Structure 1
Amino acid sequence: MSKRLLTKATDLAKHVIDIKLQKGMTAVDATIGNGNDTLELAKRVGSNGKVYGFDIQKVAIDSSKELLEKNNLLDRVELICDSHERISEYINDKIDLAIFNLGYLPSGDHSIITKPNTTLKGIESVLYSLKENGILIVVVYYGHSGGKEEKIAVEKYLNKLDQRKFTVMKMDFINQINNPPFIFCIEKI
């Protein structure tokens, strides 16, 4: 019996990561949260690759550091306690893959959320720094206060990207209740 593929947005994002990210590549987790994506990226890039992880909450940085240390992968990750809107201030490398999980830290203070203005600056920085055929994944959680505004702003921004420079795909569950998260995948041409 085969495993279900279309279960949740994070599983779809993981499939994209599995297909794209290889040893020696450079990746960005723009919203590290509990560190699960950062861990997956660190496994994928190998000892010669690099992962940059951003979060504004020290608790997210600390828990991610602990998770990476437990898995002996901290040496290939740079954890940065700052907003993803300042990605370009920290990264000079070209990026192979980046991921944003918009919303709030599930185990944290739900009043601390990603916001349209900082998210759009972060997305723009990543798009500028992507290598040719590089991928940006944006997982949009919008069932919280402020989430719908961010969803609208991100979709409007991505909809206007030049199709000669970027391919933008939206993966959305259309028969699910309670504002299920969805994914944008953007590939630089």
Structure 2
Amino acid sequence: MLNLRETQKAMLTKHIKEGSAVADFTMGNGNDTLWLSNQVGVTGKVFAFDIQEAALANTKSLLEKEGCFENYTLIRESHHLLKEYIDCPLDAGIFNLGFLPGGDKALTTLRSTTLPAIEAAISLIKPGGCLMIAIYPGHEEGRLEGELICETLSGYDQKHLSAYRFNVLNAATSPYFIYVEINEKYKGGNR
């Protein structure tokens, strides 16, 4: 069976190199933050966001335990405010939506902040860069969040970006991901 997480990483790898600037917009327990840190190396930059103190503590502990490069900034803030913290164009970004693994399932990402965060992230991604968005439709907010994201991304002009959805066709509530690639020739302007 295809491993969606490994597929995501393989797709991201072509956009990330030593010295890249990247973001984990939903740091959770820090696994994506750690992976990104290792990909961009000592000269790269990783911005990681979460609203939960437990997520920051778990991530910081993981990064220290793994002897991670000190190339990251952990931000306890909603991802929709990302432009207040990111001061450079990004090569790639990751959204892993839903709730903190092992945390309170009542605390989940919400359409009201996720969509503005994705739109802000798209505006910061360099031409030729990408976003990876993991969606979990097994709970009501996740289903609604996914529908809104798909609807919004399908409205972008292909001159700006291409958005692809990867899912298991015969498992309606299984997680899926959306891969967004900014057109290399995109110069800005209307979506």
Task: Give the TM interval when normalised to the shorter protein.
Answer: over 0.9
Q: Is the 8 A contact 2:15 2:128 kept in 1?
A: no
Tell me the distance in 2 between the aligned counterparts of 1:70 and 1:17. Answer: 24
% identical equivalent positions: 36
Alignment partner for residue 105 of structure 1, among 95, 100, 103? Answer: 100
Matches within 5 A, 1:113-132: 113-132=108-127
TM-score w.r.t. structure 2 length? 0.92
What whole-Å deviation, never above 9, does each CA across 1:110-133 have from its counterpart, x for those lacking one?
A: 000001110011101110001110
Find the residue that maps to 1:174 and give its secondary structure: coil
Which amino acid is 2:135 matched to?
V
Matches within 5 A, 1:74-89: 75-89=70-84
Q: Is the 8 A contact 1:65 1:74 kept in 2?
A: no
Query: Which residue number in structure 1 is paired with residue 35 of structure 2?
Result: 40
Find the residue that maps to 2:35 and give its secondary structure: helix
Aligned-CA RMSD value = 1.2
Which amino acid is 2:178 matched to?
F
Return the offset for 1:74. 5.2
Query: Which residue number in structure 2 is paired with residue 174 of structure 1?
Result: 169
Query: Which residue number in structure 2 is paired with residue 151 of structure 1?
Result: 146
Q: Is the 8 A contact 2:22 2:46 kept in 1?
A: yes
Structure 1 segments, 4+ long, off by >6 Å, are: none
Provide the aligned length of Structure 1 versus Structure 2: 183
Q: Which runs of 5+ in 2 are unaligned?
A: 184-191
What whole-Å deviation, never above 9, does each CA across 1:27-74 have from its counterpart, x for those lacking one?
A: 100001111000000000000000000001010010000111112225
Tell me the distance in 2 between the aligned counterparts of 1:117 and 1:12. Answer: 28
Return the offset for 1:77. 0.6
Q: Is the 8 A contact 1:97 1:134 kept in 2?
A: yes
TM-score w.r.t. structure 1 length? 0.93
Query: Which residue number in structure 2 is paired with residue 185 of structure 1?
Result: 179
Tell me the distance in 1 between the aligned counterparts of 2:12 and 2:162. Answer: 17
Tell me the distance in 2 between the aligned counterparts of 1:12 and 1:181. Answer: 13
